[in-house]
């Protein structure tokens, strides 16, 4: 039996409609030194039967079904515990890997760093690409960051465009299993959706080299989320805010400069116009006061927060602004696609 170098770790729950697609996608790229580990949080659909049918096609497919639903944090941890690979690539059960992604990571992990972070391409529900999500500044190419060094951690946070750079998005993360085993599962973050981020941030207390891969290697099914309505949107923001405040308090409380740089990333993840949108759904003064104080904790400008609140009271205006923003994004995507097609066409005649 070949040594397993890479484990594709997939926690799942009631995603039978997607699980065949992701298994076909991964198996088509996998070699003998790659395994797939699926932890099923006691799905009530036919996930079990579908996965077991693929065990006949791919020998390195490990399937574990829990007795009851434990939540994504524990299921992610269980996939790593069951894996045999030197490295684990965490993968959401509704995402896909781009062609050649596994070969790329197999080459990357030869360098032996503790964490690898790649970019992703946001897609609609039917996996039509919409736009690339670039987690660090556009000027940053492939680069290694020594996150255990305080000054380099600050530089890394200052270059981050998104909290995805701070481990909020599992499908972009490849981690060294030995290091995760040392850190273990932090039960204090159970149920927060940030237990994995907690374990990875604990790496910085020892040796933590992160290799940033500028290329997008993952197709992210961005429309398949449970936060689309008004209540869900506020819940999504609070999940991020509460999670990252807890992470900062746990791992960065001893250095104010590092902590502030870490928290400031949230202001780039959720810029002022998104604050206007979510604020428009917060009606009662007490809830707004709590939300406002969290904004201040992340470094949002006090005047801008006040301005956002004033604008948010006109819900019709906010709705129009959101629609305009979406159309601008769609127009930009269409333009980039046409420009790429023309470039390909020109090259074909060169």
C-alpha closest to that of 236 among 107, 52, 244: 244
Q: What is the pLDDT of residue 318?
A: 67
Q: What is the pLDDT of residue 334?
A: 41
The answer to whether 54 and 47 have CB atoms below 8 angstroms apart is: no
Q: Give DSSP secondary structure letters for 127-153.
A: --EEEEE--B-TT--SEEEETTSHHHH
**Domain residue ranges in the chain:** 6-221, 230-313
C-alpha closest to that of 52 among 42, 39, 62, 43: 62
Q: What is the pLDDT of residue 339?
A: 42
The answer to whether 87 and 80 have CB atoms below 8 angstroms apart is: no
Question: What pLDDT, in 10s, does the model give residues 99-144?
Answer: 999 999 999 999 999 999 999 999 999 999 999 999 999 999 999 9
Would you call 302 helix, strand, or coil by DSSP?
A: helix
Distance separating alpha carbons of residues 10 and 88, to the nearest angstrom = 10
Question: What pLDDT, in 10s, does the model give residues 23-41?
Answer: 999 999 999 999 999 999 9
* Topology (CATH level 3) of domain 6-221: Spore Coat Polysaccharide Biosynthesis Protein SpsA; Chain A (3.90.550)
Q: What is the pTM of this model?
A: 0.89
How are beta strands 61-65 and 34-40 bridged, if at all? parallel
Structure tokens at 304: 């801008």
Distance separating alpha carbons of residues 248 and 166, to the nearest angstrom = 11
Q: What is the pLDDT of residue 123?
A: 94
Q: What is the pLDDT of residue 145?
A: 98
Q: Which residues of the chain have pLDDT under 70?
A: 1, 223-230, 315, 317-350
Q: What does the chain come to in residues?
A: 350
Distance separating alpha carbons of residues 176 and 115, to the nearest angstrom = 6
């Amino acid at each position: 039996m070949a040594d397993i170098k890479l484990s594709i770790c997939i926690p799942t729950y009631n995603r039978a409609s997607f699980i065949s697609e992701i298994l076909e996608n991964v198996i088509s790229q996998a070699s003998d030194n790659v395994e797939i580990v699926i932890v099923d949080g006691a799905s009530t659909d036919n996930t079990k039967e579908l996965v077991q049918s693929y065990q006949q096609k791919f020998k390195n497919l490990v399937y574990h079904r829990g007795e009851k639903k434990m939540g994504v944090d524990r299921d992610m941890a269980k996939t790593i515990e069951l894996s045999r690979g030197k490295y684990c690539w965490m993968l959401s059960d509704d995402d896909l890997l781009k062609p050649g992604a596994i070969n790329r990571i197999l080459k990357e992990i030869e360098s032996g760093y503790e964490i690898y972070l790649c970019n992703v391409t946001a897609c609609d529900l039917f996996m039509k690409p919409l736009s690339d999500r670039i987690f660090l500044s556009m000027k940053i190419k492939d680069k290694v960051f020594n996150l255990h060094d305080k000054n380099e951690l600050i530089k890394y946070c200052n270059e981050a465009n998104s909290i995805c750079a701070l481990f909020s998005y599992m499908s972009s993360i490849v981690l060294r299993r030995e290091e995760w085993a040392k850190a273990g599962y932090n039960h204090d973050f159970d149920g927060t959706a940030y237990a994995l981020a907690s374990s990875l941030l604990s790496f910085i207390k020892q040796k933590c080299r992160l290799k940033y891969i500028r290329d997008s290697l993952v197709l992210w099914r961005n429309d398949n989320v449970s936060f689309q309505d008004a209540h869900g949107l506020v819940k999504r923001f609070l999940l991020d805010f509460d999670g990252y405040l807890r992470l900062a308090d746990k791992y960065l409380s001893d250095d104010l400069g590092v902590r502030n740089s870490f928290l400031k990333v949230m202001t780039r993840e959720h810029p002022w116009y998104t604050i206007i949108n979510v604020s428009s759904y917060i009606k009662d003064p007490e809830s707004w006061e709590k939300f406002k104080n969290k904004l201040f904790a992340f470094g949002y400008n006090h005047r801008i927060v006040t301005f956002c609140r004033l604008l948010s009271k006109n819900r019709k205006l906010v709705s129009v602004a959101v629609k305009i923003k979406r159309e601008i994004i769609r127009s930009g995507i269409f333009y980039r696609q046409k420009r790429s097609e023309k470039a390909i066409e020109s090259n074909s005649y060169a």
